[in-house]
Amino acid sequence: MLVVVEQFLNGLQFGLLLFLLAAGLTLVFGIMDFVNLAHGSLYMMGAYFAATFVAWTNSFILGVFMALGATLLLGVVLEFVALRHLYGRDHLDHVLATFGLILFFNDAVRLIWGPAGLVLPLPSWLTMPVQILPGVYYPAYRLSIIVVALLVAALLYWVVMRTRVGMLIRAGASNREMIGALGINIKLLFTLVFGLGAALAGLAGLMQAPILTVQIGMGENILILAFVIIVIGGIGSIRGAFLAAIFVGLIDTLGRAFLPDLLRMVLSSTAASTAAPALSSMLIYLLMAIVLVVRPEGLFPAAKR
Amino acid sequence: MAEPLLRIANLTLRFGGLVATDNLSMEVAPGELHAIIGPNGAGKTTLISQLTGQLMPNSGAIYVAGQDITRLPSYERSALGLARSFQITSLLRDFTAADNVALAAQAHAGHSFRFWADARKEQPLREAARAALKRVGLEERADVLVSELSHGEQRELELAVALATRPQLLLLDEPMAGLGVTESQRMVALLKELRKEFTIVLVEHDMEAVFALADRITVLVYGRVIASGKPDEIRSDEEVKRAYLGEQHAVTSQG
Amino acid sequence: MKSLLNPRNAVVALVIAGLLLLPVYSAVSGNLFILTMFTRIVILALAAASLNLIMGYGGMMSFGHAAYLGIGGYAVGILAFEGIGSGFIQWPVALIASALFALVIGSLSLRTRGVYFIMITLAFAQMAYYVASALSRYGADDGLTIYKRSSFGPLVDLSNRTQFYYVCLACLFGGIYLIRRIVNSRFGLVLQGVRSNEQRMQAIGFNANRYRLVCFVISGTICGLSGALLANNTDFVSPAVMYWTRSGDLMVMVILGGMGSLFGPVIGTIVFLVLEELLSQVTEYWALIMGPLLLLIVLFARGGIMGLLGRFSRG
């Protein structure tokens, strides 16, 4: 029972991180029709910045905020220098150009920080377990990830649903020509949205950093998970991304934790231990396949027209 | 009257709150040229698109020669002999005129899962293409890329492509759109020839052409049929005059 | 009648001649490295050519093509591991396995278009990567060493460098010839018609997705052959061959050479891999140059090398 609660919370926490990543991706795609593979690089940069700034300042909080700012700035510069020239072009062009950026970022990181990974140590107040239910303890840091991510999700929801900028973003996601017709400074809006997406990715990266090592390529696998989430949730839909991310986080985590035991009930134990790792790594892709068969447009597509 | 070639029953299509096709029913008899007219936004192209399967209606049914085709995908409707020309020219721009027509012929001459032989050397297909191009007066332009054809030629090619599918029902969506005076006259002459052979549904803005060609006319306003009948009946219909032809006195007084 | 003597054809002829004569040069000069390197180039060029079939002619942007390299490779590796060394069994199994994977992935991804298609092919290829990483019997992450290359009896000896090179080259030229026939066949015309204007093709009676799917399967099958060759070349197969950046590399090769031209991918593969080799001799951080270079190519040189040559020949 304890294990189940813990794994459930782990899944939730992973799902929320995935949401931060997917939200930026789906916003940028929804409003600018731009596919950004280098989104995972921003996630990686967030983690590297955090590890560096925390070491410099000796303060976890300060370092984290500096890293957030740095990722946002990096995103804005990236958009300004390179990516805005690609809007309106073929998606294939986006994919290739941002693929080039991934190569660039990976080697730039290797040049600056070296090939070995970094560690982002936690301050002591975040390392102790917290009692969440009578007799159930959960690491404070993971709990704080859940809280922060939920707060950010709420904030994002508020921005998108309740503010003027959010209205433009929603308008853009469902009908791109319209924002042009409204006479908005589109370039500024685009840069803003891209910066926001970058900051979200950076936040996800730096929050994940203390749990895993900070290393080159850390943003790539998780980016593909973010794609899966977007496919499941429906492109351009924040709500879809949120629900799909939690779903994927839970299924992936719970699958890895409990599938071996479940399989052992039906299969011989050797067969189960062979099949379980392969099957549990396939789970979310199978989920995506099912969604594609049942609802190719995703479970919660952004409203059209 | 015999079984109509095309029967539309209570067709309805909504885009969000907008009703593009509103409980629309009409019939087209074999051999007739049936024109559909109506002001801009009356839902003429939307109707054609539902007939050929690019759009699916919310409710209602479409029958061709008695067969319900409402939910068939467009390629299966083509096999049943439905062919359309597009209002906004829709051709394979990086192919030659002959290739465009030959592909239409190919779709109706055996299957296309043939991977080895050079399709451009299949004489029957090339013959069919040449015949259809000749029909519309484009045989000289067979090997020209579509992107290099003039607008008028592209309109004619649209027709040739439709003809090459050996249709029993031609759905022509404003074949005269954007044509100059001489080009329009050529198109009218061509349609006069084609109507001897095919049942035609013609959506057209050019009233002179419509009244010159049509056996019957259906008038659409806001996705609804407000009148249907012989050209003379339409011309004298009060509601039509009010809703639509009022702005086109030049035409009515001419007839 | 178009002139046969234009820069494009001249370059293609030169490349063909160069590839045919390369082992002679290698033997005379004693430069064994170049033969090794070009064996790899020829194998990956076949993969790029297969990707070009769906991208350039079919208009389908697959970002998961490396999966077939892995599937073809693992078919050879696993059969060899289980004691079946005959290429007459290994290679057909590699092709059939790739075709089946393409059939499943294709019928799922083709339910969508555009960006979705890119993301879904990418995701499924990554799934194949993870599954291979979990195959503990076959080396999991560490991969599987192949102790004996596919055997074709007295016909040909793949452990002989020169013979192996020519087998690869024959597969490449055979593959390109096949693609050439396909492109000009009934099927190929429909495919290109669908790329150009799907609505029009549906309206004249073609079920566009069936043609797309068949094309997707053919392409995956050809790439599976490339995977079988690659495994033989390295005597090894590991999940890394289907990592998603490898799919990206293949895409770059196709674009670099020129999408939708028969020999474009071959030239793109040569340029990409030679450039990678040269840059990595200059600096350890070659991707620092390659990455931005890619961005520049996308921004300024669409149509790739064949496109540029084409512009030359028109004056």
pLDDT tens readout for residues C252-280 = 999 999 898 999 999 999 999 999 999 98
Distance set, CA C270 to CA B184, C27, C43, C265, C276 (Å): 54, 20, 11, 8, 10
B49: contact with C, CB 8 A cutoff: no
Query: How many CB atoms neighbour CB B138 within 10 A?
Result: 22
Contact assignment for C192 to B114 by CB distance below 8 Å: no
Tell me what pLDDT residue C315 has. Answer: 41
What is the signed CA dihedral for A119, A121, A122, A123, rounded to 10 degrees? -160
Per-residue buried b or exposed e for B32-63, using 16+ beta carbons within 10 Å of the residue's own CB = bbbbbbbbeebbbbbbbbbbbbbbebeebebb
Contact assignment for C186 to B114 by CB distance below 8 Å: yes
pLDDT tens per residue across span C71-108: 999 999 999 999 999 999 999 999 999 999 999 999 99
Q: Cβ distance C212 to C201 under 8 Å?
A: no
* CB < 8 Å to C211, chain B: 112
Rounded to a whole number of angstroms, the distance from the CA of B112 to the nearest CA of chain C is 5
Query: How many CB atoms neighbour CB A202 within 10 A?
Result: 32
Element holding C144 (H helix, E strand): strand C144-145
Q: What gap in Å lies between CA B211 and CA B253, rounded to an integer?
A: 12
Among B residues 95-124, those touching chain C with beta carbons less than 8 Å apart: 95, 99, 102-104, 106-108, 112-120, 122
Specify the number of domains making up chain A: 1
Left (φ > 0), alpha (ψ -120 to 50) or beta: where does A237 sit?
A: beta
Tell me what pLDDT residue C57 has. Answer: 96
Tell me what pLDDT residue B102 has. Answer: 96
Q: What gap in Å lies between CA C143 and CA B9, rounded to an integer?
A: 64
Residue ranges of chain C whose CB lies within 8 Å of a chain A CB: 55, 61, 63, 108-109, 111-112, 114-116, 118-120, 122-124, 126-127, 130-131, 133-137, 244-245, 248, 251-252, 255, 285-288, 290-295, 297-299, 302
Q: Establish if A236 belongs to a structural domain.
A: yes
SS3 sequence, A224-255? Answer: HHHHHHHHHHCCCCHHHHHHHHHHHHHHHHHH
Q: Establish if A33 belongs to a structural domain.
A: yes
Tell me what pLDDT residue A172 has. Answer: 67
Looking at residues B50-79, what average pLDDT do you find?
Answer: 94
Mention every residue, 6+ apart, whose C-beta is less than 8 A from residue B122.
Answer: B102, B106, C186
**Which of C179, C183, C186 should we substitute to test contact with B (largest number of B Cβ atoms within 10 Å)?**
C186
Q: Could you give the 3-state DSSP secondary structure of residue A115?
A: coil
Q: What gap in Å lies between CA B122 and CA C22, rounded to an integer?
A: 40
What number of H helices and E strands is found in chain C? Answer: 13, 2
The backbone torsions φ and ψ at residue B3, rounded to the nearest 5 degrees and listed phi first, read -50, 125
Tell me what pLDDT residue A167 has. Answer: 80
Banded pLDDT at B255 (limits 50, 70, 90)? very low
Q: In what order do the strands lie in the sheet with B224-229?
A: B82-85, B169-173, B199-203, B33-37, B216-221, B224-229
Contact assignment for A293 to C133 by CB distance below 8 Å: no
Contact assignment for B90 to C200 by CB distance below 8 Å: yes
Contact assignment for C295 to A100 by CB distance below 8 Å: yes
Q: What gap in Å lies between CA C161 and CA C76, rounded to an integer?
A: 19
Contact assignment for C199 to B122 by CB distance below 8 Å: no
**Which of A92, A94, A270, A279 should we substitute to test contact with C (largest number of C Cβ atoms within 10 Å)?**
A92
Q: Can you list the alpha helix ranges (DSSP code H) found in chain A?
A: 2-32, 39-57, 60-81, 91-113, 124-127, 140-162, 164-174, 176-181, 186-208, 218-233, 238-266, 269-294
Tell me what pLDDT residue A179 has. Answer: 63
**Structural domain boundaries enclosing A239:** 2-294
**What residue segments make up the domains of chain B, in order of their start?**
1-81+167-255, 91-166
Tell me what pLDDT residue A302 has. Answer: 66
Q: Which of A29, A104, A228 sits opposite C115 (nearest CB)?
A: A29
C208: contact with B, CB 8 A cutoff: yes
Banded pLDDT at C306 (limits 50, 70, 90)? confident
Tell me what pLDDT residue C300 has. Answer: 82
Class of the domain covering B1-81+167-255 = alpha beta
pLDDT tens per residue across span C201-221: 999 999 999 999 999 999 999
Instruction: Judge whether residue C172 has pLDDT over 70.
Output: yes
Q: Which of A93, A99, A282 sits opposite C248 (nearest CB)?
A: A99
Among B residues 172-231, those touching chain C with beta carbons less than 8 Å apart: none
Looking at residues B235-245, what average pLDDT do you find?
Answer: 79
C259: contact with B, CB 8 A cutoff: no
B78: contact with C, CB 8 A cutoff: yes
Contact assignment for B161 to C204 by CB distance below 8 Å: yes
Counting Cα atoms < 13 Å in the Cβ hemisphere of B88 gives: 5
Type of residue at C154: P
- Report which DSSP code applies to A85: G
Q: Establish if A304 belongs to a structural domain.
A: no
Averaged pLDDT of chain B: 90
B75: contact with C, CB 8 A cutoff: yes
**Which of A32, A37, A104 should we substitute to test contact with C (largest number of C Cβ atoms within 10 Å)?**
A104
C196: contact with B, CB 8 A cutoff: yes
Q: Which of A85, A96, A282 sits opposite C252 (nearest CB)?
A: A96
Instruction: Judge whether residue B101 has pLDDT over 70.
Output: yes
**Which of C127, C243, C256, C259 should we substitute to test contact with A (largest number of A Cβ atoms within 10 Å)?**
C127
Among candidates C272, C243, C259, C313, which has minimal Cα distance to C70?
A: C243
CATH number at residue A239: 1.10.3470
pLDDT tens per residue across span C36-81: 999 999 999 999 999 999 999 999 999 999 999 999 999 999 999 9
Residue with tokens 């009233």: B207
Q: Cβ distance A191 to A80 under 8 Å?
A: yes
Banded pLDDT at B254 (limits 50, 70, 90)? very low
In chain C, % of residues over pLDDT 90? 80
Type of residue at C178: L
Contact assignment for C189 to B84 by CB distance below 8 Å: no
C199: contact with B, CB 8 A cutoff: yes
Contact assignment for C298 to A97 by CB distance below 8 Å: yes
pLDDT: is C184 or A236 the higher one? Answer: C184
Tell me what pLDDT residue C112 has. Answer: 86
Tell me what pLDDT residue B141 has. Answer: 95
Cα of first residue to Cα of last residue in chain B, in angstroms, is 28
Tell me what pLDDT residue A280 has. Answer: 85
The backbone torsions φ and ψ at residue A134, rounded to the nearest 5 degrees and listed phi first, read -55, 115
Query: Per-residue confidence of chain A (305 residues) as pLDDT tens digits?
Result: 778 888 999 999 999 999 999 998 988 887 788 889 999 999 999 999 999 999 999 999 999 999 999 999 999 999 999 898 888 888 888 999 999 999 999 999 999 999 998 999 998 888 888 888 888 888 999 999 999 999 999 999 898 888 887 887 777 666 666 666 666 677 888 898 899 999 999 999 999 999 988 999 899 989 999 999 999 998 778 889 999 999 999 999 999 899 888 888 888 888 787 788 888 888 999 999 999 888 888 888 765 43
Looking at residues B217-226, what average pLDDT do you find?
Answer: 92
Tell me what pLDDT residue C27 has. Answer: 94
The dihedral through the CA atoms of C222, C228, C232, C237 has a sign that is positive
A92: contact with C, CB 8 A cutoff: yes
A68: contact with C, CB 8 A cutoff: no
* CB < 8 Å to C202, chain B: 53-54, 73-75, 78
Q: What gap in Å lies between CA C164 and CA C235, rounded to an integer?
A: 12
Banded pLDDT at B236 (limits 50, 70, 90)? confident
Q: Establish if A132 belongs to a structural domain.
A: yes
Type of residue at A216: I
SS3 sequence, chain B? Answer: CCCCCEEEEEEEEEECCEEEEEEEEEEECCCCEEEEECCCCCCHHHHHHHHHCCCCCCEEEEEECCEECCCCCHHHHHHCCEEEECCCCCCCCCCEHHHHHHHHHHCCCCCCCCCCCEHHHCHHHHHHHHHHHHHCCCHHHCCCEHHHCCHHHHHHHHHHHHHHCCCCEEEEECCCCCCCHHHHHHHHHHHHHHCCCCEEEEECCCHHHHHHHCCEEEEEECCEEEEEECHHHHHHCHHHHHHCHHHHHHHHHHC
Looking at residues C112-127, what average pLDDT do you find?
Answer: 90
Residue with tokens 């782990």: A10
Q: What gap in Å lies between CA B96 and CA B90, rounded to an integer?
A: 14
Distance set, CA C224 to CA B142, C125, C269 (Å): 40, 13, 17
Beta-bridge partner residues of B83: B170
Looking at residues B120-144, what average pLDDT do you find?
Answer: 95
Q: Which of B73, B92, B117 sits opposite C197 (nearest CB)?
A: B92
Among candidates A291, A293, A248, B120, which has minimal Cα distance to C185?
A: B120
> Strand B216-221 and strand B33-37: pairing?
parallel
Mention every residue, 6+ apart, whose C-beta is less than 8 A from residue C283.
Answer: C289
Q: Establish if A39 belongs to a structural domain.
A: yes
Tell me what pLDDT residue C70 has. Answer: 97
Looking at residues B139-160, what average pLDDT do you find?
Answer: 94
Instruction: Judge whether residue C303 has pLDDT over 80.
Output: no
Q: What gap in Å lies between CA B167 and CA C238, rounded to an integer?
A: 55
3-state helix, strand, coil in chain C (%, to 5): 75, 0, 20
Chains in contact with B, where contact requires at least 3 CB pairs less than 8 Å apart = C
Among candidates C136, C138, C121, C126, which has minimal Cα distance to C76?
A: C138
Tell me what pLDDT residue B250 has. Answer: 41
Q: What gap in Å lies between CA A33 and CA A170, rounded to an integer?
A: 13
Residue with tokens 């029993």: B168
Looking at residues B213-233, what average pLDDT do you find?
Answer: 92
Chains in contact with A, where contact requires at least 3 CB pairs less than 8 Å apart = C
